[in-house]
Structure 1
């Protein structure tokens, strides 16, 4: 076997482990990831799985990164091409709602679930979850601030407050879909966004 083929196979195997891990963690939490479970699911040895990450914490961090890539592709990329400010803020909210409505992750929003799991803890995984929330809230805040500066939202509107409210709205949507299986939740979320941002 050539070294190039060996590296390619290792990357493919690592990617398969991460894909399975994201699916498991979405439903059962990051703590629900066990090397034994993944090995059985993928037909690998435990050492074969562990060898790609070195520790459970490293695996959890890699899974967060993979989930972040999926979130960016589903929510940020569709809105990125829209003009900044209010148009992009509206597009972000729509792609965000659609991401939950379509069940991109089987357990709902991966990061909401991870936040509930780790918010009372300390450590690298908790810090990584917090960083992703902070980054996303800051993106919302910046677009809101641009919309205010452009006159598309009322002068004096607090962009930080608006970002907080939009984050809470979509977290409530995730709750309604996952816990209550509410078929009308996405429609109500869209109505709430329109009421807050205007048509």
Structure 2
């Protein structure tokens, strides 16, 4: 177990920018907040979920058990835990970016936005089926994180859950490329080659309704 005093909270992560919701409120007695953080002797940043309140330990133990029960490339992975008094924390690998914030960074590029949503559609289908099977729910907060960058679902309900639309799957060449491909000059060509015009318009229409 990591010592709580070795965790340096850097900034709070708000999962829902417009509503101001921090994270899932378990009940009137407890709350869970997310932070970007540094851990002593570790160079890279992590994400820390901090539980406080009368029900903090119960909720923390339940969530930790669920983190340890799942293993999927598109689900956030637990790095360690910490506690002191009535404060309990779960440390997650990588510095996670809320999905909504990541999408906002690319709103000025229609091709980049469509490219991201194609990954959201594919990953949400895969991780949703897995969560249904293992935990009995799929309503989770979504982040961008890891190396290479990928869509990551938190197992704790709350935050932005991406709705998906029905369309044909991207071709095999697209499926092999990750979100880091967004910064390459061939990204637009990849989107064009992955979709027919009708599918591109369908994704664009869906995205514009969400803005």
Shared fold (TM-score, shorter chain, > 0.5): no
TM-score if structure 2 supplies the norm length? 0.29
Per residue, is there more strand in 1 or in 2? 2
Q: Which protein has the larger Cα radius of gyration, Structure 1 or Structure 2?
A: 1
